[in-house]
Amino acid sequence: MAPATGSPQPGNLLEVRDLTIAFPSSQNPLLAADGVNFDVAAGRTVGLVGESGCGKSVTLRSLLGLVPYPGEVISGEIRWQGEDLREAPKKRMAEVRGSEISMVFQDPTSCLNPVFTVGDQITETLRKRAGMNGRDAKKRAIELLDQVGVPSAEQRLKAYPHQFSGGMRQRVMIAIAISTRPKLLLADEPTTALDVTTQEEILALLVEVQGETGMAVVLVSHDLGVISETCDDVFVMYAGKVLEAGRGPAVMRSPRHPYTGGLIEAMPSLEVTDAPPASPIPGQPPNLADLPPGCPFSPRCRFSRPECDSIPVALDAPLADHGSACPFEGTKA
């Protein structure tokens, strides 16, 4: 990918360049993200996909300066409309969070305060972030709950989080996140704890809200099926690195990296009756404190060869040209 410049490329809201996030350990520092690059253009949905522990969630959190302690961003740039957020003062970051960039977390139960009503939590955001008075904030809160599909919105304002189902709590979180009309929504595994039907409803809701507001979305998931249904651009992560990047349909139809192919083969098919059975990737993701040399996926790769121990792990083409970090494509058979 091209290096970052002092101003964003036309159409890009967010540009992430060479992002590296480290956690201390008794051995070497654990690199949860290692030289990650991606862009988010206005109105597009970008997917970060990979198995648990591959670095996608911590990458997402880093965009708002929310890397869990003792982790930290040790290098790279996070440019928001040309402004490097790594250099932004705390006051500026407080303005960005929730107003310009909002986030929906994986577990709404831990994000909603159990001692305040849902209405109190939505209106507080509107008063603090949008400067609304109490009456206007309540009116807007009812509109938001109605928009995200919470029935009897006015009555449910008085309810507490424990009185909502998991799917409804996630809808409330989305309502809070979009209440200030952000330009970018970060969604960290927003459907993981939900049943399949509710997952589909939440994904459809995100697509609907995006169509109404024009906001961009970065969606993190370990489920390539979720990513393929929703995302325009896909970045496949493993051991903190991006191993493949391309337009969503291209990645799904013609994966160029063996890891992406493995993720696709591990997906059960409910539409094709004669499809081969799902085949999980053998082994486990590597210990970040003890990564193999060269390609981190090589110990689990059925096409692995001795040369994999010395190859640089970098995409061979930009997003639009469908990049892969495997140099042996076409000679795997």
Share of the chain above pLDDT 90, in %: 76
pTM of the entire predicted model: 0.91
DSSP 149-161: T-SSHHHHTT--G
pLDDT of residue 46: 97
* Tokens read off for 265: 């083969």
CATH class of the domain at 12-100+185-198+215-324: alpha beta
Which tens digits make up the pLDDT trace of 274-304? 667 788 999 999 999 889 999 999 999 999 9
Question: What residues pair up with 49 in beta bridges, in sequence order?
Answer: 221, 236
Which tens digits make up the pLDDT trace of 6-56? 444 557 999 999 999 999 988 788 999 999 999 999 999 999 999 999 999
Predicted confidence band of residue 4 (pLDDT cuts 50, 70, 90): very low
Under DSSP, the state recorded for 97 is: B
Check whether 322 has a pLDDT greater than 60.
Answer: yes
Which tens digits make up the pLDDT trace of 192-211? 878 888 888 989 999 999 99
Q: Where in the chain is the domain with CATH 3.40.50.300?
A: 12-100+185-198+215-324
> For the chain, how many helices (H) and strands (E)?
11, 11
Under DSSP, the state recorded for 289 is: T
